[in-house]
Amino acid sequence: MHLGTKARKNVSLAATYIILAAVMVIIIYPLLWTIGASFNPGNSLISTSIIPSNPTLAHYKELFAGKESLQYGQWYLNSLKISVFTMIGSVISVSFTAYAFSRFKFRGRKNGLTLFLLLQMIPQFSALVALFVLAQMLGLMNNHWLLILLYIGGQIPMNTYLMKGYMDSIPMDLDESAKIDGASNTRIFWQIIMPLSRPMLAVVAMNGFTGPLGDFVLSSTILRTPESYTLPIGLYNLVNDVMGASYTTFAAGAILISIPIGVTFLMLQKQFVNGLTAGGTKG
């Protein structure tokens, strides 16, 4: 006996909801556990539950207690500084690079795009030795600005591909009409292409901001003193100390990292929605 059309739709809808529920549990459960651990007394995760029986803010207070071994406030500021400047640098560099590849024909254009794709396939850690030697030769070890430049350079290939694809969807007729009216390429870029590319600019900005906040490998190669650490390095050292490891304090520090990410997402949310709407109606 075959199921009717309505029954098949109900089964398909139920299966979809089950899959979505399973995915949400996989995503949300670790987050809820971390939040619970950050309010749980003690330093161990063994007795931690999602809803602590005796919740406390002691771990959050400990982060900003001013201990010499736990300079969380300084690490937080360092991370925000690096993330903000990386975001700004990424948006500017990717915008110009993608515009050039999207709107101009020049020698080496195709090979340049292929090179970007190949660079994106190379793992970051494969260049760590070269970056370490280069930083030492230039006397830029323990320098935040070198780290910012490396983050910006690392994000150019993939983000350029994304931005170029979006700019390619903007009709060339707009450029031609503007040129007939006497507009230069610079004016077209700033007054036509950039406003229409705001949804993808928001994606690039979000990638540029969140990347440094979650990076440990590259930052730990360049940064050497506790005063210059970013949050991933500082929190790693917090739990790597065998004699004084505090996993619940680590959980509190990890939760606070999400605040600037959430604020940035809320600020850019309108552009994300506009991009989805434009993508659904463009034809």
Q: What is the pTM of this model?
A: 0.83
Return residue ranges of the chain for CATH 1.10.3720.10.
67-281
What tokens were used for 46? 């063994």
Q: Supply the pLDDT for residue 273.
A: 66
pLDDT at 223 over 70: yes
Task: Enumerate the H helices of the chain as residue ranges.
Answer: 5-38, 58-63, 72-103, 109-121, 128-138, 144-168, 172-180, 185-188, 194-196, 198-214, 217-222, 231-240, 247-281
Could you identify the residue written with the tokens 């201990």? 67
pLDDT at 41 over 70: yes
State the angle between helix axes of 72-103 and 231-240 in degrees (0 to 180), rounded to the nearest 10: 140
What does the alpha-carbon distance between residue 131 and residue 89 come to, in Å, rounded to a whole number?
20
Q: Supply the pLDDT for residue 99.
A: 93
pLDDT digits (tens, 9 = 90+) for 231-282: 999 888 877 764 456 778 888 888 888 889 888 888 888 876 665 555 433 4
For residues 257 and 31, the answer to whether their CB atoms sit within 8 Å is no
What does the alpha-carbon distance between residue 116 and residue 120 come to, in Å, rounded to a whole number?
6
pLDDT digits (tens, 9 = 90+) for 120-166: 777 777 778 888 888 888 888 999 999 999 999 888 888 998 899 89
What rounded mean pLDDT belongs to the chain? 84
Q: Return the CATH architecture of domain 67-281.
A: Orthogonal Bundle (1.10)
Nearest to 194 by CA among 159, 162, 165, 163: 163
How many whole angstroms from its chain centre is CA 79?
12
